[in-house]
Amino acid sequence: MWAEIPYEPWRETCSALHLYTQIVGKYRLARTPWVNHSWHATLYVNARGLTTSIIPDGAVSVEIAFDLLDHAIVGATTDGRRAGFPLGPMSVAEFHARLLDLIRELGGRPQFDGRPNEVPNPIPFRDDRQPRPYDADAVRRFFQAIVATNHVLNRFRTAYIGKVSPVHLFWGSFDLAVTRFSGRPAPLHPGGVPALPDEVTREAYSHEVSSAGFWPGGGGTDFPAFYSYAYPAPMGFSDAQPSPREAYFDQRLGEFLLPYEAVRKSSDPEATLLAFLESTYNAAADLGGWSRDALECSIGEPLRPRPLNTRNSPPQDHRSG
């Protein structure tokens, strides 16, 4: 499950796949009512790759999926229509045009914003005609890595009864993430994320968070890594000691990193990743004064309802009168 995925050999394929997810994600964004923190725009891991889930589009509901095993885009509607096209070497402009045709074939409306977000020097999709490679084996191994990561992030998610996000892929930054919330409002975010409206960033960080996830490389690193950060970062956060020993705080990025290889090569990858997630969350919650007794519970187990006790009472904002 923890496949080897060095970033450099598939850098160009990864960049292309990132932009393809943006195109599909923007179709979902244009058709789905806004949900807090842009949760309505994300993609989800499924049994064969990534999916939008059902998108309402006029008289039909559409689902678009990346099949990363057979390497295809697959579209389906609730009235029984199906369409698709193969993934392979092509330009971003060609992928964009093929997706517009697929949406029309499914009876949907292919109107959405045509510019990338959160990438340097963005080129409109229809104008990006540079040929892009497609390394099918690397894509398959990337899929194996996000399946394994998705499993651990979902398990980590169960140990929290406060507000917590789904485990989902943000196509802007191309990372699989889960976010815990303290329940308290956060200071206004300064914005400034490349090619992303400040109003979107500020809504995303409207409340205090401890967020963690995985990216395959290219998001400030030249290697696949797990990350964890807090907003706002409490005093002393960068000096906290994370687990395992290979984890560290990256001053430039302002977050903790754990190289994917440290997890892959460990004797127990799931326990190693959970140690990173728990230790960095603990630092954010302890230093930030979160009401941990009211927000946390034991990690979830199949067929075992969460026991009710005083630890599960609603969180209190001790900073208000």
274 and 147 within one domain: yes
pLDDT in tens, the chain (321 residues): 899 999 999 999 999 999 999 999 999 999 999 999 999 999 999 999 999 999 999 999 999 999 999 999 999 999 999 999 999 999 999 999 999 999 999 999 999 999 999 998 899 999 999 999 999 999 999 999 999 999 999 999 999 999 999 999 999 999 999 999 999 999 999 999 999 999 999 999 999 999 999 999 997 899 999 999 999 999 999 999 999 999 999 999 999 999 999 999 999 999 999 999 999 999 999 999 999 999 999 999 999 998 876 454 444 444 433
Dist CA 171 CA 39 (whole Å): 11
102 and 220 within one domain: no
Q: Which residue range forms the structural domain that includes residue 166?
A: 137-312
96 and 240 within one domain: no
167 and 66 within one domain: no
pTM for the model: 0.94
Q: Quickly count: other Cβ atoms within 10 Å of residue 171's Cβ.
A: 25
Instruction: State residue 316's pLDDT score.
Output: 45
Query: Starting at the edge strand that comes first in sequence, how are the strands of the sheet with 175-185 ordered?
Result: 168-170, 175-185, 207-215, 225-231, 255-259, 248-250
Q: Is 29 exposed, middle or buried (0-12, 13-18, 19+ CB in 10 A)?
A: buried
Q: Quickly count: other Cβ atoms within 10 Å of residue 8's Cβ.
A: 10
Dist CA 167 CA 161 (whole Å): 15
DSSP state of 32: S
Instruction: State residue 309's pLDDT score.
Output: 65
252 and 106 within one domain: no
Q: Which helix (H) or strand (E) holds 225?
A: strand 225-231
DSSP state of 58: T
Q: Does residue 3 form part of some domain?
A: no
Residue that terminates a domain, selected from 119, 134, 149: 134
298 and 160 within one domain: yes
Instruction: State residue 57's pLDDT score.
Output: 96
120 and 17 within one domain: yes
228 and 275 within one domain: yes
